[in-house]
């Protein structure tokens, strides 16, 4: 898939009516809602009905299930996601009419014009960190605008216009669209090579982050001090005149975490920054979330807020959907769902879950690999990460935009073989409909089950909870 090239933006209030193709997607629905809240006439379509589609319809957005040329109506701007290709009836009609066609990133960037833009990206952690910044700024009374790739657990909302000076966005690095955003503050949570099907080489992927941080409008770049690639990019950006603020556990971090407490009941650390040292306590688990919170804190300081109020506000963050999201507890078995789809993310969420396993229980990982190319490229890394669980169940690979015939030998069974070679048993259940029953047969009181992956595995947790409730 080619990288998204930045385009010239126009103020969001001036480009309507706007029609969104694939309006029900996690990223698209929030942007569409923001345009509707701005008073722009909004319509949209999606292949399937969904909760997001119905929510937009209830808010006054004209929605359609399925795609047809006439559904564009009197639109002047058409917004598409990366999944929409030539041959889509609505996209083809938009080009035939000579309408403005924007990638979703351009529509989001247009909302940021005239605000103090904050773009949050990185290989891992960008959704959670964006949610933390939005929650933190809301709780200190800054009333930010924001668009997050997943709804906040506390509110069910993934977007708000806000009236304050800041507009915070989750910036996707996978397709290069993060280069579109007019941001003054940029967060790069980490840099670990991924999405080579788009970027081609590791060098090109890393250079994308350099280009982002070195953009003319950028004033402050927030980066981890605990990772070699990020430190190298930070040095390049400093050489180019950018102010770089680092965070993490490294002794030279500008915002340093120490004295970490990671127990089933407490996720906390001492945070030390210029002019502020104190306790940072979170309601979400995991060492990685303390790092995400330190990045969010750095944004708050860059926007002029006081350290103590930022630390207190971060404690209000209750997570986002699909990030260690509780699905239910039945008979001493607790079930969670997480979007992790890269080996580093899988390892991090399993480590965060381990302290929460009940007495005598096991950590059960139900993983659905996402993309054949990613599974092929990180087969050994995925296997090593999955050994952090006690029980491993693998669903068939979620293909997304790829085809199995293009990747001979890349299967869930191949991954299971690698897991077994590392001394951990792994079971393969190819059909997604068979996964929840298999888990229901395998679990016992005290177990913690994590369904993991960026694809359709997210449905398994609720199915498992329902099955367990039906059993004695």
For residue 302, what is the domain's CATH number? 3.40.1190.10
Residue 127, annotated ligand binder?
yes
Same domain (yes/no): 302, 182 = yes
Residue 64, annotated ligand binder?
no
Residue 124, annotated ligand binder?
yes
Residue 126, annotated ligand binder?
yes
User: Catalytic residue numbers?
Assistant: 126-127, 170
CB atoms within 10 A of CB 219: 12
Assign 219 to helix, strand or coil: coil
Looking at the chain, how many residues does it have? Answer: 472
Structure confidence at residue 4 (pLDDT): 84
DSSP state of 428: E
Per residue in 320-367, pLDDT (tens digit) is: 888 889 999 999 999 999 999 999 999 999 998 999 898 899 999 999
Structure confidence at residue 324 (pLDDT): 86
Domain final position from 103, 124, 147: 103
Same domain (yes/no): 227, 291 = yes
Residue 125, annotated ligand binder?
yes
Structure confidence at residue 198 (pLDDT): 75
CATH code for position 355 = 3.90.190.20
Q: Cβ(3)–Cβ(175) under 8 Å? A: yes
Same domain (yes/no): 288, 375 = no
CA–CA distance, 175 with 60 (Å, rounded to integer) = 31
- Residue 385 in domain: yes
Regions in the chain scoring below 70 on pLDDT: 1
Domain final position from 314, 344, 361: 314
Per residue in 387-414, pLDDT (tens digit) is: 999 999 999 999 988 899 999 999 999 9
- Residue 418 in domain: yes
Task: Please list, in sequence order, all residues whose beta carbon lies within 8 angstroms of the beta carbon of residue 288, skipping any fewer than 6 positions away.
Answer: 124, 125, 348, 352
How many angstroms separate the Cα of 125 from the Cα of each of 128, 143, 191, 324? 5, 23, 11, 12
Domain tally, the chain: 3
Task: Please list, in sequence order, all residues whose beta carbon lies within 8 angstroms of the beta carbon of residue 415, skipping any fewer than 6 positions away.
Answer: 369, 375, 379, 382, 383, 386, 394, 426
Same domain (yes/no): 36, 64 = yes
CA–CA distance, 81 with 112 (Å, rounded to integer) = 18
For the record, the structure tokens of 273 come out as 């920054």
Per residue in 256-315, pLDDT (tens digit) is: 999 999 988 899 999 999 999 999 999 998 899 999 999 999 999 999 999 999 999 999
State the residue range of the domain holding 453: 325-470
Same domain (yes/no): 133, 219 = yes
Same domain (yes/no): 152, 289 = yes
- Residue 109 in domain: no
Would the pTM count as exceeding 0.75?
Answer: yes
- Residue 44 in domain: yes
Same domain (yes/no): 134, 251 = yes
Same domain (yes/no): 178, 124 = yes
Structure confidence at residue 320 (pLDDT): 85
């Amino acid at each position: 898939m080619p990288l998204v090239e930045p385009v010239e933006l126009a103020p969001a209030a001036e480009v309507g009516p706007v029609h969104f193709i694939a309006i029900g997607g996690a990223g698209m629905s929030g942007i569409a809602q923001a345009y509707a809240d701005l008073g722009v006439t909004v319509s949209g379509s999606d292949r399937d009905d969904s909760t997001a589609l119905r929510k937009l319809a209830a808010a006054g957005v004209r929605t359609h299930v399925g795609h047809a040329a006439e559904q564009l109506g009197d639109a002047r701007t058409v917004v598409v996601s990366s999944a929409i290709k030539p041959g889509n009836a609505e996209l083809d009609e938009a080009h035939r009419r000579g309408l403005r066609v924007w990638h979703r990133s351009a529509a989001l960037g247009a909302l940021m014009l005239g605000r103090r833009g904050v773009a949050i990206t990185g290989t891992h952690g960008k959704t959670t960190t964006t949610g933390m910044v939005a929650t933190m700024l809301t709780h200190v009374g800054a009333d930010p605008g924001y668009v997050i790739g997943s709804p906040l657990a506390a509110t069910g909302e993934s977007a708000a216009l806000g009236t304050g000076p800041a507009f915070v966005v989750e910036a996707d690095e996978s397709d290069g669209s993060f280069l579109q955003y007019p941001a003054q503050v940029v967060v790069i949570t980490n840099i670990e090579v991924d999405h080579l099907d788009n970027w081609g080489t590791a060098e090109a992927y890393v250079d994308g982050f350099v280009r982002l941080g070195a953009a003319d409008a950028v004033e402050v770049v927030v980066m981890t001090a605990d990772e070699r690639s990020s430190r190298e990019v930070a040095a390049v950006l400093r050489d180019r005149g950018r102010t770089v603020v680092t965070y993490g556990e490294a002794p030279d971090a500008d915002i340093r975490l120490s004295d970490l407490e990671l127990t089933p009941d407490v996720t906390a650390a001492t945070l030390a920054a210029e002019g502020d040292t104190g306790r940072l306590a979170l309601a979400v688990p995991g060492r990685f979330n303390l790092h995400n919170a330190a990045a969010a804190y750095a944004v708050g300081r860059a926007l002029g807020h006081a350290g103590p109020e930022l630390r207190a506000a971060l404690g209000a963050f209750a997570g986002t959907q699909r990030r260690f999201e509780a699905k239910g507890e039945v008979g001493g078995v607790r079930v969670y769902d997480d979007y992790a789809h890269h080996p580093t993310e899988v390892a991090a969420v399993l480590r965060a879950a381990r302290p929460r396993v009940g007495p005598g229980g096991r950590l059960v990982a139900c993983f659905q690999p996402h993309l054949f190319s990613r599974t092929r490229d990180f087969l050994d890394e995925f296997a090593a990460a999955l050994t952090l669980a006690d029980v491993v169940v693998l669903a068939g690979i979620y293909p997304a935009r790829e085809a199995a015939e293009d990747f001979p030998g890349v299967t869930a069974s191949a991954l299971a073989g690698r897991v077994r070679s590392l001394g951990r048993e792994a079971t393969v259940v190819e059909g997604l409909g068979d996964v929840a029953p298999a888990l229901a047969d395998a679990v016992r009181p005290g177990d913690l089950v994590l369904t993991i992956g960026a694809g359709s595995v997210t449905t398994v947790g609720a199915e498992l909870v329902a099955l367990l409730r039906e059993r004695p």
